[in-house]
Structure 1
Amino acid sequence: MRDHAAHAALSALNHLLAGAAWARARLAPFAGRTLRLAAPPLLLTLSIDAEGYFATSGAERFDVTIDLPPITPWRALEGPQAALRDAQIAGAADLADALGFVLRNLRWDHEEDLSRLVGDVAARRLGRGFGQWFGWQRQASRNLAENLVEYYREEQPVLASPAAIQAFALEVGQLAAGLDALEQRIKRLG
C-alpha cells in the first residue's frame, strides 16, 4: 500500500514539474542529489535527475530532509504556503532553498488537465465550480472550528479564554510575591 502511495505522490510531483519549466530549471543543477520527504504515513526517498524531475532513490543518506506534519494534506487545501507552514527542512542550504521555493510555488493547472478531457469551456466552468466548492468547504471548516472553540470556552468551559489565562497568571504572580514576603518576615522573626 505504501509503495502505491509513494508512486502516486512521485507521479503527482513530476506531473506538476512537467508543467513548470521554471521549477525544473531550478532543480536541474542539483542532479544526483537526494532528499527524504516525510509526510506520515508517506515516506519518499528521492533524487533529482538531470532534467529537474524527481526519481525514486535507494539512498540512506540525504542532502536534504523535509518533514511535514500529518495535518499537511488538510492544509494543502488552503494552498502550498499553508501546507509548508510547519515543514521542517534540514540539510544543504542551497538545495533546501531551491526545494522550498519550488514546493511553495508549484501550482496545479487543473483546468489545463480537465480541458484535455472535456474541452476548454467545460474545464473553465468545472474549475470555477470546484474553486467555489473548495472555498465553501474552507469557510465551513473555519466556521465549525470557531463555533467549537466558542462552545468549549463559553458553554462548556473546557478551554480557557486568553483573558482567563492572563488573569490566572496575574493571580499566581501576586500569590508568589505574597509568599516571598511571608518567607522574608518569617526569616526576620527567626
Structure 2
Amino acid sequence: MATQSPFSFVGSVFERMAAGTQPPQWLVHEVQHRVVLLLNHVLMQESAATQRLVPSRGRVVRMQWRHFFMALRVTPAGLFDLAPPAATPDLRLEVMQASPLDLAQAALRGERPSVRIDGDVQFAGDIQWLADNLRWDVEDDLARLIGDVPAHTLANLAGSAAQALRGFLQDRVPPAGGPSGWSVERTTP
C-alpha cells in the first residue's frame, strides 16, 4: 500500500495560500518595512557592503516571486529604502521556483533558488556580492539582549535543530534537479 508523503499535503496548503486571497495592503507595507530594517541592520554591520552600494545610490532593484514583489532603492548612505511605487527598476530579480514547498526545501538544503536577472550588470554584480558575503550574526545580536553564554547556547541549539531537519529532509525528500548554487537566466533590456 502506497502512502502519501506529508510534504505533499503541506505543499498543497502553501499552493492554496499563495493562489488565494491577497493580504491587506497595510500588512504588505509593514512586512516590507521590517524587511528593509533587517537588511539595513545586516548591511550596517559590514562597512564594505555599504561602501560597495554607495556608487549605486538612487538605483532600484525589484525582487519578485510569483505575484509577490518588493522594490528597493539604494540610499546615498549605501543602505536600502522602499522605492516609490512609480520607480522604474534598474535591476529585476525574479525567483523562478514556483512551489513554496520546493523553495523552502531547497533553502533547508542550503541551495539557492533559480533566479532570472534582467537589467544593469554592474548593479547585479554588487547585489550578488552582498548575497555571497553578508551574513546576519544572530548570535551577536542575541548576546546584546541576553548575554554571551545564553546567546551561544541558543545559537548552538538552533544550529543542531537545523542540521537535524536537513538530515530528516535528505532522507525523505528527493533532491531538486540541478547543482546547488544559483541557477541564473540572464537577459538584458
| TM-score where L is the length of structure 1 | 0.68
Q: Which runs of 4+ in 1 moved over 6 A?
A: none
Cα distance change of structure 1 residues 101 and 132 upon mapping to structure 2, 3 Å threshold? same
Equivalent pairs: percent with the same residue?
28
Q: Aligned-pair distance for 1:104?
A: 2.6
Kindly provide the CA deviation profile for residues 112-140 of structure 1, in whole angstroms up to 9, marking residues without a partner as x. 01101110111111111110101111111
Comparing both chains, which one has the higher relative contact order based on Cα–Cα distances under 8 Å and sequence gaps of 6 or more? Answer: 2
- State the superposition RMSD in angstroms: 2.0
Partner of 1:47: 73
Aligned partner (choices 99, 105, 114) of residue 133 of structure 2: 105
- Encode CA deviations 1:79-130: one digit per residue, 9 max, x unaligned: 4xx23x4111210110011111112322010100110111011111111111
Which of the pair has more CA radius of gyration?
Answer: 1
| Equivalent residue in structure 2 for 1:37, among 53, 60, 63 | 63
Distance 1:73 1:5 in 2: 19
Matched, 1:13 2:29: no
Map residues 1-190 of structure 1 onto 2, 5 A cutoff. 1-40=27-66, 42-58=68-84, 59-68=86-95, 69-70=97-98, 71=100, 72-79=103-110, 82-83=111-112, 85-146=113-174
Do the aligned residues in 2 keep the contact of 1:37 with 1:45 (CA within 8 Å)? yes
Partner SS state of residue 51, structure 1: coil
Evaluate the alpha carbon distance shift between residue 51 and residue 60 of structure 1 in structure 2; reply closer, same or farther with a 3 A threshold: closer
Can you give the 5+ residue segments of structure 2 that lack an aligned partner in the other structure?
1-26, 176-189
Question: Does the residue aligned with 1:108 lie in a helix, a strand or coil?
Answer: coil
1 or 2, which has the higher helix percentage? 1
The code of the aligned residue for 2:170 comes to R
Deviation for aligned residue 1:78? 4.4
Q: In the aligned structure 1, how far is the partner of 2:129 from the partner of 2:46?
A: 13
Q: Which residue of 1 aligns with 2:183?
A: none
> How many residues of Structure 1 are paired with residues of Structure 2 in the alignment?
144
CA–CA distance in structure 2, aligned partners of residues 18 and 125 of structure 1: 25
Q: Secondary structure at the match of 1:55?
A: strand
Q: Could you tell me whether the CA contact under 8 Å between 1:24 and 1:53 is conserved in 2?
A: yes
Change in CA separation of 1:141 and 1:100 when aligned onto 2, cut-off 3 Å = same
Do the aligned partners of 1:5 and 1:42 also contact (CA within 8 Å) in 2? Answer: no
On the 8 A contact 2:60/2:87 being kept in 1, the answer is: no
